[in-house]
Structure 1
Amino acid sequence: MIEDITTKHARAYFTFIKASSWMEKKIKGALKPFGITHVQLNVLHILYRNAPEPVSVNSIKEQLLDSNPDVTRLLDRLTKKGFISRETCPNNRRRIDITLTKEGEAILYEAHKRAKISVGDFFEKKITEEEAIELKRIIDKIIK
């Protein structure tokens, strides 16, 4: 018998994994009508947060919530949809500057609103502010 899978820590781990899966499923369903993924939404958010300044590919890689090794293909898809633009940096021809288009900003706004609602307004409908602070503290402790 495997005894260590019944400990309180093990149960917390499995609950954490279940919660993560639940959130990803909720967000995936909310984003489906917009034809974008959670990672693509994250890229749009990074660009919005930095606007009007362009963002380099490396900076996007560093800021992604999910480590995605194929950022180039991710950016290709967003460019094809008209949500981002890519231009060669005038000061450094080896650097590509990425910016959010008006279409990308509109999709970000609507998709973010739908995703937020899907997980209980970032848990506002499920936990108190104090619980949110404690949850963040515990998660930060786990991932650092």
Structure 2
Amino acid sequence: MRKIRYRPHPLLAYPTQPVFLALLVSIPFLIMGALWRDGLLSTTTVAAAFDGTALLCLVMPVTSAWRAAAMEREYRGYLQVIADELSAPNLDDKRRQQLLVERSKLDDQFHFVHDRQGTLQKVKVIGVGMRLASRYLRKINKYINSFRLF
């Protein structure tokens, strides 16, 4: 008998909202690490890294809308499998609890389906913060050596 999948494969699954936001915040720091390794880290390049991430955050409503319908269909498909098993007459309490846990994990992974506006609002706040950091770096650039930080 084939094992029924209740969620996407772990390597292909969508990240939960806190992990998604943490990955988004880490983008400019990954860029800064690469720039530092190559000896190109300066306030100008750091500001550009923040600007690029801010732009990514601010266009996220448009880019995520392309995938929204497919994500909704995928979520409904997994949810239907869980609902079918939950409605089985010979379901014991342990199995019911396992299915409810699977459904809650599924809900956490598909946060763009449930709370799209909430997630996008947090992404927008991150983008605005990155843009403010970039402006601050560009403003103080004239007071420090702009060619090398470390």
What TM-score, normalized to structure 1? 0.29
Larger Rg: 2
More helix by share: 2
More strand by share: 1
What TM-score, normalized to structure 2? 0.28
